[in-house]
Amino acid sequence: MNIAIIGTGYVGLVTGVCFAEFGLHVTAVDKDAERIDRLAKGELPIHEPRLAEMLCRNLKEDRIHFTTDVVRAVRQSLVVFIAVGTPSREDGAADLRYVEEVARTIAHNLDGYKVVVIKSTVPVGTGRWVEQIIREEHANGNGNRCVFDMASNPEFLREGAAVEDFLRPNRVVIGADSPQAVAILQDLYRPLYLIETPFVIASIEAAELIKYSSNAFLATKISFMNEMANLCDTLGIDVHVVAKAMGLDQRIGSKFLHPGPGFGGSCFPKDTLALARLARSHDTPVRLVETVIEVNEAQRARMVTKIVRALGLDDSASLEGTILGILGLAFKPDTDDVRESPALAIVEELRRRGAHIQAYDPAAMEQARAVLPDIVYRPDAYSAAEECDAVVLITEWNQFRNLDLSRLKNLMRRPILVDLRNAYEPERVKALGLTYQGVGRG
Ligand code: NAD
């Protein structure tokens, strides 16, 4: 079966390569010609574990092709996935301009039955809107009979574990009215039946909401735990003991109970905003989600205060003359994605207050440089620590979990470790002669 994936970002690329791995013939399209050139040569434009080898294998075996020619890709495919970005607009709503652009192109190139699937995260009602655009645009064009089915197939992969998540998902959600479209999509995912992956078949609208409510719920867990950590800081209690005991309750579950600098990335911040905005526009505010967004914003500011206090300064003191070593810029480990990264927000604020920043990230320095050109980038964790007044660990890459702390201390001007991911045990760090500050460690 021939399928097309439009948009080769984190989601489109992983989807395309994994479907090729399932044995399908995939045409992956992007309007970014440089990206397509690199992909066609087997070069990954993103950092994502396991993806490079799968990309090369499927290119070699001729199951995946990269092109900027969306017209051809649509014409030769039975299923067309839309996987373009849906960033936040100024007012918090999802910006659907790329989805609309693709919908119009598809409309002009329907020359036989197709299933048009939205994989991008889109507000409830978008599937119907796209369906209508395609019908109207097609009618205004060549006037052939317009035969297609609309479907929603939201994606739940996590950057940094995207291949694993696609190949072994917790569930696959298919939203469609047409039994034929459902059957075709189930067929695409056939290898997952062997591992007994649950399939949820829903309406298009329900599928759209499932994605937003899942992300908002996870974001809620994070913000909840961050508030508990802040309370633990005040009360002198170790939040890890609290989280562990909470997580042993199966109704709660142990995942996403880890406090830190707040959630970031290209999904949770924009999806919580879009859900809150959608709910308000339907006169049914989701106040809990609105508060989760506020708590997350406040957490970033709180982390800056934590760093300032660790330096022994007043909350509003200037940081002129202070050198800070920053470990981690990506919004999470194992990715180079810095979109809405808490690290960037924190670094920006520290810079604004006068600190000199020297940072290191194993994969995201090029991306960070585009946003923060005037900080110093260092080639490893130890050189980022040289002559620093404090080292601040913001992204918990594995290589930061087991640093030689004595070596780190000897390189620093003042031995202060601010660990915003609680990667270290406070007592161990203190025993080595460093001052330690974690999140909610009492
Ligand atoms: P991305 O920004 O990394 O990639 C989007 C790609 O679409 C870009 O390469 C862009 O050039 C391309 N594009 C835009 N308009 C195009 C057009 N008209 N024709 C062809 N290509 C076009 O985005 P992403 O992170 O892959 O996210 C895509 C969607 O998936 C979003 O809605 C996002 O919310 C959702 N999602 C993302 C993740 C994630 O972890 N990144 C997880 C689940 C869902």
Structure tokens at 310: 């660790």
C-beta of residue 311 within 8 angstroms of C-beta of residue 389:
yes
Query: What's the pLDDT band for 143 if we cut at 50, 70, 90?
Result: low
User: Mutation test of ligand 1: which of 5, 10, 102 has the most ligand atoms closer than 8 Å to its C-beta?
Assistant: 10
Specify whether the CB–CB gap between 307 and 390 falls below 8 A: yes
Q: Which amino acid is at 229?
A: A
Q: Is the pTM of this model over 0.85?
A: yes
CA dist., res. 64 & res. 77, Å (int): 13
Catalytic, 56? Answer no
- pLDDT value, residue 314: 97
Query: Which tens digit of pLDDT belongs to each residue from 113-142?
Result: 999 999 999 999 999 999 999 999 888 876
Amino acid symbol at 212: Y
Half-sphere exposure of 386 (CA within 13 A, CB side): 10
Report how far ligand 1's centroid is from the alpha carbon of 98 (Å).
9
Pocket test for ligand 1, best of 5, 6, 11 (most atoms within 8 A of CB): 11
Alpha-carbon gap, residue 394 to 365, rounded angstroms: 14
Residue 335's pLDDT is 96
Residue 358 CA to ligand 1 center (angstroms) comes to 31
- Domains by residue range for the chain, with CATH: 2-202 (3.40.50.720), 218-437 (3.40.50.720)
Q: Of all atoms in ligand 1, which is nearest to the CA of residue 270?
A: 34
Could you read off the pLDDT of 19-50 as tens digits, one per residue? 999 999 999 999 999 999 999 999 999 999 99
Per residue in 270-303, pLDDT tens? 999 999 999 999 999 999 999 999 999 999 999 9
DSSP character at residue 398: G
Longest dimension (CA), the chain: 77
Torsion of Cα atoms, 190 then 195 then 198 then 204, to 10°: -30
